[in-house]
């Protein structure tokens, strides 16, 4: 299979590494807004051609597109790629609103194409291991998921620059970038909460830099925290009446252990390099292209829509707004 890549950031390089590690596919083209950046990216990553015209890029010899541009671009670029007859794997959050997701998914279905959100949690084999292990810790009444990672762009923001990640016009910020990684396991492991509460604090740019939300399931409570302006070292935990599971990285689902009520611990999930985890995403995407009726594809799409709806509810509760987005939609 031949991929075209949209976006020339570091995550696109990780995806290329993943494709090369886990599939036999080729990276044929890259689209960049700048000829110089596109050419430099192509040279560094062994990509045959670079384009600055997206229509030209999409009409080229590619079967699928990986989108790694700022969130605000995802909907339009996904739509264009699907219209051009390409399968699409798009970085998280796949679109800003659930309506945009539904529109793209419908278009993909009409054209017999795959439209997939690139979210590590759903595509790593660690997810199955975690799900199978949950019953061993007994009845679960609480969990806490945290993803707090001091942004490498924060010093630039403090210097008065306007990095995309702290610019609400790009539909980014802490929840969209990191909080989503806490929403996914909660929804996938425990379902749709009956009650959500949420709050956030903001930078002067208007971007939410840190936030908290809680999901009440009636019989269990999941709390989550996220931050782009502070670093967590304590990880995430799921608590049952027979023991608990500690997960060092909730986004990558790595370095997890189980501890019983006597304090005995054993390892559950290993460390897996990021490139390899991105490779699982690519491999699963390609599997869905070969087998569009796959139950896992249907489940992945269901989760994307559920998570998108919940993300919007959290934004509404925490007063996180993007320019142009309808309030209380």
Token couple for 264: 């005995």
Number of residues in contact with ligand NAP under rule CB under 6 A: 19
Reported as type and span, the H/E element at residue 3 is strand 2-6
From 66-74, 101-109, 224-232, 306-314, give the range in contact with ligand NAP by CB under 6 A.
66-74
Examine residue 9 and tell whether it contacts ligand NAP (CB under 6 A): yes
Determine the Cα angle at 142 with ends 138 and 147, to 5°.
Answer: 120
CB count within 10 Å of CB 49 equals 17
Identify the helix (H) or strand (E) that includes residue 4. Answer: strand 2-6
Using DSSP's 3-state secondary structure scheme, residue 10 falls into helix
Whether the CB-CB separation of 65 and 48 falls below 8 Å is answered with no
Should residue 7 be labelled a site residue for ligand NAP when binding is judged by CB under 6 A? yes
Q: Would you count residue 138 as binding ligand NAP (CB under 6 A)?
A: no
Among 11, 40, 107, 196, binds ligand NAP (CB under 6 A): 11
How far, CA to CA in Å, does 317 sit from each of 90, 95, 128, 227, 228?
26, 19, 32, 17, 19
- Residues 262-291 vs ligand NAP: string with x where CB under 6 A? ------------------------------
Cα–Cα nearest to 167, from 128, 117, 211, 209: 209
- The site map against ligand NAP for 84-113 (x = CB under 6 A) is -------xx---------------------
Stretch that binds ligand NAP, among 29-37, 98-106, 127-135, 213-221 (CB under 6 A): 29-37
Strand ranges inside 94-135, DSSP E: 115-118
Residue with token string 């997206």: 54
Among the listed residues 8, 50, 224, 227, the single contact to ligand NAP using CB under 6 A? 8
Contacting residue, 17, 177, 208, 286, with ligand NAP by CB under 6 A: 177
Q: Is 73 in the site for ligand NAP (CB under 6 A)?
A: yes
Binding site for ligand NAP (CB under 6 A): 7-9, 11, 32-34, 37, 68-71, 73, 91-92, 120, 164-165, 177
């Amino acid at each position: 299979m031949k991929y075209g890549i949209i976006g020339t950031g570091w995550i696109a390089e990780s995806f290329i590494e993943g494709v090369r590690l886990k599939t036999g596919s080729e990276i044929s083209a890259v689209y960049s807004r700048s000829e110089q950046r596109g050419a430099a990216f192509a040279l560094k990553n062994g990509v045959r051609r670079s384009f600055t015209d997206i229509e030209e890029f999409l009409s080229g010899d590619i079967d699928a597109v990986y989108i790694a541009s700022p969130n605000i671009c995802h909907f339009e670029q996904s739509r264009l790629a699907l219209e051009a007859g390409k399968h699409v794997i798009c970085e998280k959050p796949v679109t800003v609103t659930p309506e945009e997701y539904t529109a793209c998914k419908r278009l993909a279905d009409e054209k017999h194409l795959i439209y997939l959100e690139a979210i590590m949690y759903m595509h790593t084999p660690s997810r199955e291991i975690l799900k199978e292990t949950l019953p061993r810790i007994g009845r679960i009444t609480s969990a806490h998921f945290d993803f707090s990672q001091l942004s490498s762009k924060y010093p630039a923001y403090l210097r008065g620059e306007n990095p995309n990640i702290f610019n609400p016009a790009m539909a980014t910020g802490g929840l969209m970038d990191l909080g989503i990684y806490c929403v996914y396991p909660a929804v996938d492991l425990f379902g749709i909460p009956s009650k959500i509460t949420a709050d956030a604090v903001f930078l002067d740019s208007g971007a939410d830099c840190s936030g908290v939300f809680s999901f009440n399931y009636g019989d269990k409570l999941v709390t989550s925290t996220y931050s782009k302006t502070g670093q967590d070292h304590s990880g995430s935990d799921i608590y049952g009446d027979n023991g608990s599971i500690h997960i060092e990285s909730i986004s990558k689902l790595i370095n997890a252990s189980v501890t019983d009520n006597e304090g005995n611990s054993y390892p559950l999930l290993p460390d897996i390099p990021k490139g390899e985890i991105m490779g699982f995403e690519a491999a699963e995407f390609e599997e869905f292209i070969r087998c569009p009726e796959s139950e896992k594809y249907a489940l992945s799409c269901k989760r994307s829509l559920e998570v998108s709806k919940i993300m919007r509810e959290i934004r509404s509760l925490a007063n996180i707004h993007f320019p142009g987005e309808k309030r209380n939609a």
